[in-house]
A and B are shown apart, each in its own frame.
Chain A
Amino acid sequence: MTVFEDEYGRSRETPGAEGTSWLGSPYPAVVADREGGVVEFNAAAADLFPRMGVGKWLDEVVPGWLADAHRRLSRPARTPAAAAPTRAGPAPLRGSHDGRLLRAHPTDSGHGDVAWWLVDDSDLTAAQDALRAERERTALLAEASTQLLASLNPDRCLEKTALLAAAHLGDAALVISPPVRNRCAVVTALGGGCKRTQLTLDPALVPGLAEALQGFPPVPARWIDPAELPSWAVPEGFGGTPGAVSITPLPGHGVPAGALILLRRGGRRAFDTSEELFARLFAARAGAALSAARLYAEQARVTRALIAELLPPQLHHVGGVDFAGGYRTSQDTERIGGDFYDVHAGTEDGQETLAVLGDVCGKGLDAAVLTGRIRSTVQALLPLAGDHQDVLRLLNGALLTARHTRFATLVLASVRRTGGRVRLRLTSAGHPRPLILRATGEVEEADTGGTLVGALPVVTSRSATVDLSPGETCLLYTDGITEARGGPLGSAMFGEDRLRSALAECVGLPAEAVVERVQMVAGDWVGRGPHDDMAVVAITAPHTTHLSAVNGHTRGRYTA
């Protein structure tokens, strides 16, 4: 104490010595000497530290963190490594006292006395913490929405939900899909990885799960005893019984999309109300995304099933003749349109194969539906295919009696191979005439014509018979090819002449290559411009099959 008294002097240039104004400062201030004895303090400091008094040791009156800081500042360690005090000004430090957060700014007098200015930071810090937490949550929700809405695949959505939840909401997460025949798809995410399983589980065994799967509001987390969780609910490698569990429903578009189970490891605190609320915000987004993905998947499944019959078929080798087809719809987003083709093999050996290619007035879905009708009608009329006029007459009748007012043009080709040659019977019903590519490179037009179907009560037509030698091709096409506009100068019509010269380059090509070439030339012609539906079928008399049968490399070896 004597040392303290000896060194005490008001004349020294401590901040307090400037005058008494600081004594009335609303901020607590304390001056202490080198030994840690209180030299002076103001009223605010006295309010804050009730035991404050001049001559007392700091240790007795202020929190330990402040007394320690004072010791460090006024009596720097004498080890050479202690370079810290040479810094420009000591940084403020923080600590708590009586439930408040204080920021302490030391001011060194240079004589060993230090004045401590204290600022109450509690409210600011609390506001900053709350702001940071909110910002993180908003960012997470935005991120979650972006990731979840990116995919319309339900499995991906489930995985994303589980991964995001495990990364941000708990130590592990399980996403349970609503049960289908007592089995639930469960996606478990832990430590950045996720696993999918199908489980037969009784939701009633997990408090709140049955309710969540039915879309009822969640059971507060504190009601769920982690020890009662069934084994499937704790992922492998989680490490013991969870310390806390939270179960949140995933609300879908009107129907529950599943439930989200969040797990925290033992020893960590339970989910508080704000965390549960946040989990519900997250679950709302995940549920909506999942629901949209499921709806899309279901719609896509229905669409696939319905248009399966309307899609252009894969053509191949039938009755010793090569068939190939190519289709391009007017809209890139659609897979079906108003053009169609089919190849029906004869039911018995030696019977003719019937190829049909046509174009329904209009495009898009409505036209596509009518192509389906025409295709099935033609298939039903197959037994009559010996007489194309009969087929067209009956088809015309069927179309006239139907509700719609659309008509169609088409070309029928009955194909039979005899020896190396292929005989075609071709009949056009208001359709562009088939082109014949000869081995010489000449391109001929089949001399057939007739009225379109579905418009007039009576239809007439004239058939042409064409023989193909090995390597020769008959090309059926729709006017989407010839009427395609484009080219290097922009707006010229592709036209029959260009089609003929493109075809003339295809001498001896297999049917697929002819189709590909025609599609490619026409496709390049239109470029990125608009175009109608385009369909092409090539019927080619193969030129090597009879040889291959002799030399032992028959198709059967690899087309089985």
Chain B
Amino acid sequence: MSTQTTTSTADLAATRRQLWAALEARDEPAATAAVLGAHDAGVPVEDLLLDVIGPVQAKVGAEWAAGRIGVAQEHAATAIQDRVVAALAHRTPDGTGPRPETGEAPRRVTVACVDGEWHALPARLLAEVLRGRGFLVDYLGAHVPTPHLIAHLHQTGADVVALSSSLPVRLPAAHAAVTAIQAIGLPVLVGGAAFGPDGRYARLLGADGWAQDARAAARLLAAGPPRADAARPAAGDLPHLADQEYTLVTRARTQLVRQVLQGLEDAVPAMASYTDRQRERTAEDVAHIVDFLGASLYADDAELFTGFVTWTAGILRARGVPGDALIAALDLLADAQHDFPRARGHLAAGRRALLRVPAPPAPGPRS
């Protein structure tokens, strides 16, 4: 992290505290005042976006994971953050002139979230950072169906696409988007927690570049990622999918959830007294496990699955739910996968990870 800007880390920390306090109180004007006040005091917009708003949003996620705030509060905080970004955006003039470094025409970047991805703030922050650095930015927001994205690219003639995704369960959707973008001859940069802490899934899916954060993305885009080579159908092919495990597990999702749910009811006596609502929540949790198993099969990386189960165990622990049910669910799932060695391997790795980690793990991947 570079601290060579004029902003002192103490100033940033103070602004973060003010912003967090305002979010906790759901006080939008106070949140805006904290950030705009810091801007008035000379903190650059980019630092406010990435060193104040971004980290505070990460804290929102962490607090939710730790069970200290509810889902509504998380949404309220996110909505306020979005408005704060909008307020800050008014202070950035649109970059339209030639870029100062090279004198070239500004690069046109389309920033979008993968289909099904609702966490839009990271993409929004990137869009604003890029705009501040003189790029021409089309920000398409959360949950962009790939056909829309492609139509947009044809019509606007973007030079490059930046795709954001937070949840690894969107990796197949991200892969489809990456392939579609490359098929029309454009390079695509990906970022977000979905692609793994070291961007390993970005390479796996054949993306043209991966950036750890918005600054890295801006640097990469300024340098210009390698031009996509239109004719390379082989790139991003996933030979491990040939065993069909991903396809079959995904297709059998509903059936697997039913089966595991039934098994849990037999194994966990307490479930007999569950309300319909509680039963549905449990079903949703099981469906999540199946979805992540699908993602880990797609990426052929058991760590993706173990990361998810240890994180889930942390979430459950924070809410006082015993972890036995999770292990029982993994065992039931493994029983249903006798023909699928990879799936069994991932489930076994998940189980080992749960037994190995007695203390609550840090919520979410490193950030």
Residues of A participating in the B interface, judged by any CB pair closer than 8 Å: 143, 146-147, 150-153, 155-156, 160, 296-297, 300, 304, 332-333, 335, 487-491, 501, 505-510, 512-513, 516-517, 520, 523, 528, 544, 547-548, 551, 553-554, 557-560
Shortest beta-carbon distance from B161 to chain A in Å: 13
Tell me the bound Cα distance from A213 to B232 in angstroms.
Answer: 34
User: B153 within 8 Å of A by Cβ?
Assistant: yes
Shortest beta-carbon distance from B235 to chain A in Å: 14
User: B33 within 8 Å of A by Cβ?
Assistant: yes
Residues of A within 8 A of B26 (CB): 508, 544
Name the 6 nearest CB pairs between A and B, nearest first: A490-B254, A513-B79, A332-B145, A548-B29, A488-B283, A558-B87
Tell me the bound Cα distance from A488 to B283 in angstroms.
Answer: 6
Query: Which B-chain residue is minimally distant from A143 (CB atoms)?
Result: B231
Residues of B participating in the A interface, judged by any CB pair closer than 8 Å: 26-30, 32-33, 36, 70-72, 75-76, 78-80, 82-83, 86-87, 90, 115-116, 118, 142-143, 145-148, 151, 153-157, 183-186, 230-231, 253-254, 257-258, 261, 277, 280, 283-284, 286-287
- Are B75 and A506 interface neighbours, CB within 8 A? yes
- Are A558 and B231 interface neighbours, CB within 8 A? no
Residues of A within 8 A of B151 (CB): 300
Contacts A143-B231, A152-B154 hold; do A489 and B28 have CB atoms under 8 A apart?
no
Residues of A within 8 A of B277 (CB): 501
Residues of A within 8 A of B157 (CB): 153, 155-156
Query: Which B-chain residue is minimally distant from A149 (CB atoms)?
Result: B230
Contacts A155-B157, A487-B280, A505-B71 hold; do A553 and B32 have CB atoms under 8 A apart?
yes
Tell me the bound Cα distance from A246 to B284 in angstroms.
Answer: 67
Tell me the bound Cα distance from A559 to B253 in angstroms.
Answer: 46
Contacts A152-B184, A489-B283, A544-B27 hold; do A508 and B155 have CB atoms under 8 A apart?
no
Partner of B72, one of A156, A300, A508: A508
Query: Which A-chain residue is minimally distant from B150 (CB atoms)?
Result: A152
Shortest beta-carbon distance from A507 to chain B in Å: 6
Q: Which of B29, B147, B154, B280 has the most CB of A within 10 A?
A: B29
Partner of A520, one of B86, B118, B231, B287: B118
Query: Which A-chain residue is minimally distant from B91 (CB atoms)?
Result: A558
Residues of B within 8 A of A146 (CB): 230-231
Residues of A within 8 A of B286 (CB): 488
Q: Can you sample 25 A-B contacts with CB below 8 Å?
A: A146-B230, A146-B231, A147-B185, A150-B185, A151-B184, A152-B184, A156-B157, A297-B154, A300-B155, A332-B145, A487-B283, A488-B284, A489-B257, A489-B283, A505-B72, A506-B72, A508-B72, A510-B79, A513-B78, A516-B75, A520-B118, A523-B118, A544-B27, A548-B28, A558-B32
Query: Which B-chain residue is minimally distant from A150 (CB atoms)?
Result: B185
Partner of A160, one of B86, B116, B183, B185: B185
Query: Which A-chain residue is minimally distant from B257 (CB atoms)?
Result: A488
Residues of A within 8 A of B115 (CB): 332
Residues of B within 8 A of A554 (CB): 29
Tell me the bound Cα distance from A222 to B249 in angstroms.
Answer: 66
Query: Which B-chain residue is minimally distant from A517 (CB atoms)?
Result: B75
- Are A558 and B90 interface neighbours, CB within 8 A? yes
